[in-house]
Amino acid sequence: MIRLISSKLFWRSVLIFNAISVLLPVFFLINSSLRSSTDFANNPMELARHPYWHNFAQVWQNGDFANFLKNSLIITGGSLIVILAFGVGAGFVLGRYQFRGQNLILGFVLTAMLIPAKLMILPLFIQLKWMHLLDSHLGLILVYASGSLPAAIFILSGFFRALPVDLDNAARMDGASEGQMIRKVLMPLVRPGLAIVTIYAAIPIWNDFFLPLVFIQSPEKKTIMQGLTIFFGEYASQWGVLFAGLMIASLPLIILYLILSEQFIKGLTAGAVKG
């Protein structure tokens, strides 16, 4: 027993077993999306030997689905632009300048990081209503931005702080303004930080369904994850179509993950793993 546990073979089999448990449900999802609903109902475990693409066509013909995807892209993209633009500015100032009240601002940002978004949903709802930002993409974008900005500022200020001071002085000697110095000299050097912040913020926003559930009422403004819940009511027991819908909703992230897995792991565990 002890010899078994200390053998490499045992640990390798653990990893293979884990890979199967992870990939089997994903394979099931992909496979079933390529089978007709009646075929699936007869036997859920057969291979899709003759891919039934009609499911995907049917999802696409339901015009709402494409619209949900577009809304999610607008909201995720818009939030990212705000987070990166505001986050780089604040991260630069807090990481690179020294001034009175700096610790106070850092404390303010850190405290905001600890506030759970779900619990202030009520005042946010009433506040957004009052600001005429309820049931609007812009309102959602600003709430998401506010939620991710504290961590983004924290991560980016760390990256800015790590750059040598001589860099700034050299740029200033060459007559660069502070703005030029940030854009031309420092920004390219904090690119890994920008990648981490992008993934840290974008994935949870793309995947979220709680805030749209509360803030968005118009059917034409709903996001893809919210749309899936409607879709599941509409196409109940049309298995092939449901699986195709799930596939389309998850495909963008699966493809990105296959290309950028290292950045994904770093970005999504940012804050929990030191260094």
Residues 77-116 that bind other proteins (CB under 8 A): 82, 85-87, 89-90, 92-94, 97, 99, 105, 108-109, 111-112, 114-116
The backbone torsions φ and ψ at residue 273, rounded to the nearest 5 degrees and listed phi first, read -115, 130
Residue 18's identity, in one-letter code, is N
CB of 224 to other proteins, least distance (A): 9
Residue 233 engages other proteins in binding (rule: CB under 8 A): no
Residue 241's alpha-carbon distances to 30, 68, 198, in angstroms, are 12, 16, 32
Q: Which of 62, 67, 127, 136 binds other proteins (CB under 8 A)?
A: 127
- The owner of tokens 């990939």 is 23
CB of 40 to other proteins, least distance (A): 7
CA 260 from centroid of its chain's CA atoms: 13
Residue 236 engages other proteins in binding (rule: CB under 8 A): no
| Contacts (CB under 8 A) with other proteins, residues 37-56 | 40-41, 43-45
Judged by CB, which is closer to other proteins: 79, or 221? 79
Write out the two tokens for 239.
Answer: 């298995």
| Contacts (CB under 8 A) with other proteins, residues 137-166 | 142-143, 145-147, 149-150, 153
Q: Which of 21, 61, 103, 218 binds other proteins (CB under 8 A)?
A: 21
Q: What is the Cα–Cα distance from 36 to 47, expressed in whole angstroms?
A: 12
Counting Cα atoms < 13 Å in the Cβ hemisphere of 254 gives 11
Instruction: Mark the segment that binds other proteins (CB under 8 A) among 50-58, 124-132, 158-166, 184-192.
Output: 124-132
Size (the chain), residues:
275
Q: What is the Cα–Cα distance from 241 to 249, expressed in whole angstroms?
A: 12
Judged by CB, which is closer to other proteins: 117, or 195? 117
Q: What is the Cα–Cα distance from 191 to 228, expressed in whole angstroms?
A: 34
Q: Interface mask (CB under 8 A) for other proteins, residues 185-224, using x and -?
A: ------------------x--xxxxx---x----------
- The owner of tokens 């000697």 is 173
